[in-house]
Amino acid sequence: MKSIKVHDKIFKPYIEEKELQKIVKKVALEIYEDYKDKTPVFIGVLNGVFMFFADLLKYYPGDCEVAFLQMSSYSGTQSTGVVYKKMDLTKEVKNRHIILMEDIVDTGNTIASLFEYFQNTQRPKSVKVASLLIKPEVYNKEFKIDYVGIEIPDKFVLGYGLDYDELGRNLKDLYQLDEGRINH
């Protein structure tokens, strides 16, 4: 794998597709262990989650349903700290067991806002959170991310659904910004 240029920045190879798939399968089976006798609703937080979401469901051996909504807090390679709900939830989840699916948890602002939104307005029976990636050095919230694929350092990543100003989402592998983090 080679380094790539996206917009004005260079990204170096970080986690290859084969390794990502192993991680995703592990998370799918971990979730299944807890939901074997239930029909959970997997909720994809768009846009970044679409690859993780699709791959995880292919490895999920049980009954399940899906729904989506869209949140945004990022501009370029920096979090704005303000989280917007850009799109309404596509399904009623009252009294359902839901699993919120994120591509990456950084500060935790997005997932904290979502958690509050679901608890206050949707009345699900239970809520758990799954994220492919988490940056423990930046994550500053109390509540537990129930299922984590892999912990990564505090550096901007790209590919496998994650973008840099809308480019790079279609890359099969994960890349990391070459010059490290830019002021958050």
Task: Name the residues annotated as catalytic.
Answer: 106
Q: Please state, in angstroms and rounded to a whole number, the distance separating the CA atoms of residues 64 and 60.
A: 8
The residue among 19 and 63 lying less far from ligand 5GP, judged by its C-beta, is 19
Amino acid at 115: F
What tokens appear for 25 in the block? 């399968």
Residue 61: CB minimum distance to ligand 5GP, A:
27
For residues 96-115, which are near ligand 5GP according to CB under 6 A?
102-110
Q: Please state, in angstroms and rounded to a whole number, the distance separating the CA atoms of residues 175 and 10.
A: 9
The partner residues of 147 in beta bridges, in order of sequence, read 130
6 counts as binding ligand 5GP under rule CB under 6 A = no
The residue among 61 and 76 lying less far from ligand 5GP, judged by its C-beta, is 76
Which CA distances in Å does 174 have to 4, 17, 53, 125, 158? 11, 7, 15, 34, 6
156 counts as binding ligand 5GP under rule CB under 6 A = yes
70 counts as binding ligand 5GP under rule CB under 6 A = no
**Per-residue contact flags (x/-) with ligand 5GP for residues 8 to 47, judged by CB under 6 A:** ----------------------------------------
> How many Cβ atoms are within 10 Å of 57's Cβ, its own excluded?
15
Interacting residues toward ligand 5GP by CB under 6 A:
48, 73-74, 79, 102-110, 156-158, 162-164
